[in-house]
Amino acid sequence: MILDRIYEGGPFFMVPIVFLLIAILLLTIFGILKANKNKKAVSLISSLSLFVLVWGFLGQSIGLIGAFDAIQDMGNISAEILSSGLKISFLPVVFGMFTFLIGRIGIIVLTILDKE
């Protein structure tokens, strides 16, 4: 199911989001285990989570431009085709927002565990 959504959303935008999600999770775990190095982990998680959010919006924007170009070339299209294209264009942004939220949760956890 998730692999189908990643493929549907376009591997050019979805695969980097998956890798950055894994990096954010690893940085959060590293920050929890190495409590004295939280600030660097928090900074990296913050930067990566913001990047992945913008990357998802970029994927949506490029996808919508392509979809609108195709609609313009075809002329009249059905509602099913339009809704399918819109759904696909929202996948990178939704997955980017999910990854952003995971990163923010990691920052909250690391901030709570900060010993300074």
Predicted local distance difference test score (pLDDT) of residue 21: 96
Q: Quote the domain boundaries for residue 74.
A: 2-113
Predicted local distance difference test score (pLDDT) of residue 116: 63
pLDDT block averages, 10 residues each, the chain of length 116:
80 93 95 82 95 95 86 83 84 95 95 80
Q: How many domains does the chain have?
A: 1
pTM over cut 0.75: yes
**Cα-only R_g, the chain:** 18
